[in-house]
Each structure stands twice: as C-alpha cells, then as structure tokens.
Amino acid sequence: MKLLDRIIRAVLTGALLALCGYIIVRSVTIAGENGLFQNTPLLSAVYEKMEEWTAGTYIPVISYAGKETEKPDILLEMEDGVFPVYGYIRRQQEGGAQVESAGEYEMILRAQAQAEENKRPRETESEASQTETPAGENPLWDYPYLLNHYFSMDVTTTIDAQRLDGKTLLGMDMTMEKDASQPQILIYHSHSQEAFADSVEGDVSTTIVGVGEYLAQILREDYGYNVIHEDGIFDLVDGVLDRNLAYDFSGAAVAELLEQYPSIEIVIDLHRDGVDGTRFVTEYNGKPAAQLMFIAGMSRTADGQDIAYLPNPYIQDNLAFALQLQLAAERETPGLMRNIYLMAYRFNLHLRPRSLLVEAGTQLSTVAEEKNAMEAFAKVLDAVLQG
C-alpha cells in the first residue's frame, strides 16, 4: 500500500474513532447527569463501567482493562497506528524491545497534556476495604484509611500500600532552612492562559499568572522567602491556544532556572482547575476562598506498569510533601483542600523533590477567591517548611 494511502486511512480511521468516542462519551455522561442510572443498581454499575471504558478508549490517556484478550494482527496494527501509546505499553508488558519511538513519545506527551483537563476519578472504597485501625496506632499508617480519606485516584493509574505508606511519608523531613539571600521557591504556570469568572481580557493580573504573582508577593513580604515567579507563556503557539506540548515547554524553562539557581528547593506549578458546573469554595478569615487540590504524578498505568518514558525519582518525596501540606491545611485552614489527586503521568514533578502541581479553584471562581486561597496556602506552606 502506498504511503499516502496509509496516511489517509489512518487519518480517516482516527477521525471516525474520535467522532464515535465523542458521541458515546457525551451520551453516557448526559444520561448519567440526568439520573437515568441512579434508581437501578445494575444500570448504575453498567454506567460506571461504560464511563471508565469510554474515557480510557477515546480520551488520550492510558487506561487498560484488567483482562487481556488476544487481538488479530490487523487490529494490533490499527491500534498502534491510531493510539501508539497503547502499542508501547503492550510491548512493555510482553517484554518486547525497549526501543523508544518518537511517535510513541509524542503521543504520551499529548496524552499527558490532555489528562490534567480530562480527569476521571475512580471509586477507592471498592479497592481498599474499610478496616478498623488497631488501638493505639495512628490511623494515617493504615493504607485503606489513608487512601480513602485523603486521596482520589484517576482511572488511568493505581497505587499500592508500599507506595502509599503513611508512616514513611509522614516521617520524611520536608522542612527547609529559610535563607532569603538566595532563591528557594519557584512558581510557574504550564497553563498561563487559565482565567476566572471575572477575569478581564488582556489583564494578566486577573489570570492564574496574576494569582501566582500574588502568592509570590505574600511569601516574600509576609514570610521572608526569596521567590522566583516565572511568568512565561507555554500554552500558546503562534498566538493560538495549544497545550499539547505545554509541559514540555514549561519543563525546559524550569530546568534552565534550576540550573541557574541550584538553591531552589520548592517548585510549584500553579493551575486553575476546569470542572463543568462546579465551583469549589470555602471560607478563610471570614472571606470566600477557592479550594485547592494537589495533583501527584505517578508515572504509572492502571495495571501497575511504570511508564518508562516518564521516569520520576521523586514520587515518594512529592507524595510526602503533598500529604504533609494536606494535613497541615486540615489543622490550620479547614476546608481549604480537596483530596490529593493521583494521575498516571508526571507533569514535570521529576525536576526537584518537593514539587507540586496545584489546582486553585475552577473557571467559576473569582479572582478575589483565588487570592484569598493564596493567603491560606502560603500559611500552610510556611507551616510545613518551618516544621
């Protein structure tokens, strides 16, 4: 077959699958939102499985069914052509060649870019049974308790008791000796174009970048930290919004800054979440404040396979940092934090230990709510860093 014919066939196949997938995802989602499946347990269970399957198949993130089935060669070839990331993981599981393909890597990067905006949480209750903690033992040392009370998990990844060991995570030293003579905290934004309900077009100070500058200002003036705020734009290509390689671009900029300023110990990628029809708000010092959420990048698929293209030596450090901040917020600013969200990719969290991806509010939050949340977050961050 001629190369042009193969390209045309691949494009048409991809377009058809994308269209079918969109129709299925929207149909299932709309039906679920309208309560079609709520009254019948069987239909409800089917709906949950359909939602997970459609998310894993048509949204470009890594998700795999628990049972593997044999596929004809022609289907494997088509799968590899349209979704090369599937082919890559399949070959890893089969112990095949570890040769890296530029196409596979690019697909993984694109999947990572879309994953943060297309989160699909799974129920953790069914995976970790509720058990009573032995008398005298810290409940945070109990894996089921910790997972179900402080974490949410995307359908694309998984975690186990070894990786989520509360005793180990809470025993790790996350403190930092304050030294205002050199940069120690870096704040940046992989998605600089994220705005809020009352953002003013053309006014950067009313976007997530402006919120990041406010956080940097609080940390400098109120807590005495030396903070670098990187306000570069990584999600515009030729003036058009394009986030496919945003994490690649922002990661390169962060790596350069870390090389220039090796004293940096804390790296924060500040985002605004996007959840249809949902506004996460709490109260801090008598004022409305947007709720925050940490995203932890596991570099791991739903069937427990590490994503070799996305190594992250600091998964434990980042989990410990996020958990300790979560618990400090529970004491200092109750209601500020949503559960820590576990995802399959790494989101540049491999560049330094104590790296955070923070989702602040949603598109329905106001700029004032975002800034109030930064005041609370700065207080919690200082509490953990100073022990």
Strand partners, 360: 292
Percent of residues, the chain, with pLDDT higher than 70: 68
Per-residue pLDDT, 277: 80
Percent of residues, the chain, with pLDDT higher than 90: 57
Given a contact cutoff of 8 angstroms between Cβ atoms, the answer to whether 80 and 94 are in contact is: no
Per-residue pLDDT, 31: 61
What pTM value is reported for the model? 0.74
Q: Could you report the per-residue pLDDT of 209-246, keeping only the tens digit for each?
A: 999 999 999 999 999 999 999 999 999 888 898 888 89
Q: What is the DSSP string of 58-119?
A: HSSS----SS-----HHHHHHHHHH-HHHHHHHHHHTT------HHHHHHHHHHHHHHTTS-
Buried b (16+ CB within 10 A) or exposed e, 327-349: bbbeebbeebbbbbbbbbbbbbb
Question: Residue 54: pLDDT above 60?
Answer: no
**CA angle, corner 118, sides to 161 and 228, nearest 5?**
80
Domains within the chain, CATH numbers bracketed: 3-122 (no CATH), 148-385 (3.40.630.40)
Residue 67: pLDDT band (50, 70, 90) is very low
Containing 185, the helix (H) or strand (E) segment is: strand 185-188
Per-residue pLDDT, 59: 40
Which residue is associated with the tokens 């910790």? 146
If one compares 315 and 242, the residue with the highest pLDDT of the two is: 315
Residues in the chain: 387
Q: Residue 227 class from Cβ within 10 Å (0-12 exposed, 13-18 middle, 19+ buried)?
A: buried
Mean pLDDT over each residue of the chain, to the nearest integer: 81
| Distance separating alpha carbons of residues 350 and 264, to the nearest angstrom | 14
Over residues 113-134, mean pLDDT: 61
If one compares 204 and 32, the residue with the highest pLDDT of the two is: 204
Q: Could you report the per-residue pLDDT of 83-103, keeping only the tens digit for each?
A: 444 444 454 445 443 444 565
| Distance separating alpha carbons of residues 59 and 118, to the nearest angstrom | 8
Window from 1-5, 118-122, 312-316 with minimum mean pLDDT: 1-5
Q: Could you report the per-residue pLDDT of 316-360, keeping only the tens digit for each?
A: 999 999 999 999 999 999 999 999 999 999 999 999 999 999 999
**Tally of CB atoms within 10 A around 24:** 16
